[in-house]
Structures are given as C-alpha cells and as structure tokens.
C-alpha cells in the first residue's frame, strides 16, 4: 500500500473506487489495489473470514454498549485509529496465562499466588479457585491486577491448606471482548516446582 496526498474531494474517503481501496490509518489515507484470487479459498481462509465476521459483529456491539465504548475509546484515540479497529483487534487476539508462580504459596492465609496473563488490551477479570484432590472446594476469589493492564495478577489465599496436600488451582479469566482463558495446575502445597 502507498501513502498518498489526495485532493479535498477524496481525502478522508474510505472504501473502494474501481480497483483501488482507500483506508484511513493513524490519521493518514492509505490506498492500495484490490486483491482478487482465481483459486477457491482454503479451509483456513474460510475459518479466518468467519472469525473476522464475528470480530466485526463484536465491534458493532461495542458502539451500543457504553461500558465497552468507554474502555475502547481512549485506546483508539491514543493509537489514532477507530474504536472498531481496537475492538476487532481485541476480539481477534486471544488471551493467554503463563504457568503460575507458586513460590510464595505455602498453604497459609495471606500467601500470594502470582499469575501472568497476556492480552493485547489486558484482561477484564481473573478468578482463582483452589480445590482439594477429592473435588472439595477450599477457596475461591478474584485476583487483583498489579497496575493498569500490567498483566501481573495476584491472588491472596484466604484459607489454610496443610503442607504436602495435593490441590488443583484453577485460574479463569476473560478479556474485554469476552475471550476466555483458563489454566489448571495440580501442585503439592509447599513444594517448589
């Protein structure tokens, strides 16, 4: 694509004219050629198109949701792109959680479990549940993010667990676009990994 200076009639135009496609990006008008393929789309391309349609539908719902709009608008302004671009990007980029840092969790009340979660715009929430080996719930609650969109979340234990107990620690979260992420680990309390 080329960056072009256009006269006032076309400047700011978005869409296509003939074989040219005009886009607005970071305050500039970008123009390129329409791409046509003579081959039928692959399964991967069809899946990608379907996901893109879903992202586009999500971006439309953002404009009707004041809470989501209030979240995405400042980011769009800062990046000099539209809310639609930011919302679609968030929908298409799925969050991830790295292995839990259990070095400070020894089964005592007040011990901290550190969670590293990655997402292009950060997670909206992150919940932790600790369950005994037999499935009995021990405790659950929300993790707290350390700093705005830092990706570092801390969960402070509220129940005591005996050293040497095998437990399941399940962490579930979602980003602002509703993409869910989950990780489950099965540590022995007090043992360093």
Give tens-digit pLDDT for 112-152.
999 999 999 999 999 999 999 999 999 999 999 998 889 99
Can you give the residue ranges of every domain in the chain? 2-34+41-92, 96-185
Distance CA 3, CA 78 (A): 21
Instruction: Give the number of C-alpha atoms closer than 13 A to the C-alpha of residue 53, restricted to the C-beta side.
Output: 6
Distance CA 110, CA 146 (A): 16
- Alpha helices (runs of H) in 12-123, residue ranges in sequence order: 43-64, 66-79, 83-92
What is the CATH architecture assignment of 96-185? Sandwich (2.60)
pLDDT in tens, 163-193: 999 999 999 999 999 999 999 999 998 776 5
CA 85 to chain centre: 14
CA 91 to chain centre: 7
3-class secondary-structure state, position 153: strand
């Amino acid at each position: 694509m080329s960056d072009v200076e256009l006269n006032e009639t076309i400047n700011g135009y978005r869409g296509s004219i003939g074989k040219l496609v005009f886009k607005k990006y970071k305050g500039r008008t970008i123009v390129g050629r329409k791409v046509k393929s003579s081959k039928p789309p692959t399964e991967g391309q069809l899946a990608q198109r379907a996901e893109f349609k879903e992202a586009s539908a999500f971006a439309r719902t953002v404009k009707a949701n004041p809470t989501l709009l209030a979240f995405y608008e400042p980011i769009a302004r800062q990046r000099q792109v539209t809310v639609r671009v930011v919302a679609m990007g968030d929908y298409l980029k799925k969050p991830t959680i790295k292995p839990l840092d259990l070095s400070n969790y020894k089964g005592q009340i007040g011990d901290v479990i550190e969670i590293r979660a990655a997402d292009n715009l950060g997670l909206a929430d992150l919940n932790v549940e600790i369950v005994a080996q037999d499935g009995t719930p021990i405790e659950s609650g929300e993790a707290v993010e350390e700093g705005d969109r830092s990706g570092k979340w801390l969960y402070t234990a509220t129940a005591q667990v005996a050293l040497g107990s095998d437990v399941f620690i399940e962490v579930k979260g979602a980003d602002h676009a509703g993409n869910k992420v989950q990780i489950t680990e099965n540590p022995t309390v007090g043992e360093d990994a």
